[in-house]
């Protein structure tokens, strides 16, 4: 397929792909092409554990399509939804992923603001949709589609994240 044939309706950009887009474009391709990493990876398990054991009190969720977010509270007619992350190290990724979910909610008729929560650091960051954030997100989504339609992933590039990446063996064995 040639680049000019790309259309967003052919594929589905997910929040997870948005997250990885800001970390490693090769990983976006690998994930989108359903190349399975090692599921026993301890970092993946830790992420799941934190997600399952943090902020469990008053847990309510909202689902839109494939998205499931924790509802924290209502604020001036808007929902406040939260996402738990194990570290603020990848704050841009986390912010853009949550913005992606907020936009999906808006498109489903639900106005919401987001809160990123880093329980280990006792830190919270507010994420609110505005024109600039939406346009950055739309640009990222287009680029993700372009990456996915490439015939092969980009060559691996050593970054700090590689140490914790489930694809490390595939990239660096």
Q: Which of 94, 129, 145, 165 binds ligand SF4 (CB under 6 A)?
A: 165
Buried b / exposed e across 63-93, counting CB within 10 Å, b at 16+?
ebeebebbebeeeeeebbbbbbbbebebeeb
Give least dist CB 102 to ligand SF4, A. 26
Q: Which of 11, 64, 133, 168 binds ligand SF4 (CB under 6 A)?
A: 168
Give least dist CB 140 to ligand SF4, A. 17
Alpha helices in the chain (DSSP H): 15-21, 25-32, 42-53, 91-107, 131-148, 168-172
Give least dist CB 23 to ligand SF4, A. 6
Measured from each CB, the residue nearest to ligand SF4 is 165
> Footprint of ligand SF4 on residues 6-35 (CB under 6 A)?
24, 26-27, 30
């Amino acid at each position: 397929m040639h680049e000019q044939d790309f259309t967003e309706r052919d594929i589905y950009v997910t929040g997870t792909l948005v997250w990885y887009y800001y970390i490693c474009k090769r990983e976006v391709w690998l994930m989108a092409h359903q190349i399975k990493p090692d599921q026993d990876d301890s970092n993946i398990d830790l992420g799941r554990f934190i997600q399952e054991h943090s902020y469990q009190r008053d847990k309510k969720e909202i689902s839109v399509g494939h998205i499931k977010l924790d509802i924290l509270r209502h604020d001036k007619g808007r929902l406040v939804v939260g996402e738990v992350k194990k570290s603020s190290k990848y704050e841009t990724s986390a912010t853009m992923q949550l913005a992606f979910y907020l936009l999906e909610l808006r498109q489903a008729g639900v106005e919401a603001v987001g809160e990123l929560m880093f329980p280990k650091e006792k830190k919270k960051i507010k994420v609110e949709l505005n024109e600039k954030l939406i346009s950055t997100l739309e640009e990222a989504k287009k680029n993700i589609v372009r990456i996915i339609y490439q015939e092969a992933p980009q060559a691996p590039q050593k970054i700090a994240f590689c140490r914790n990446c489930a694809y490390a063996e595939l990239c660096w064995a």
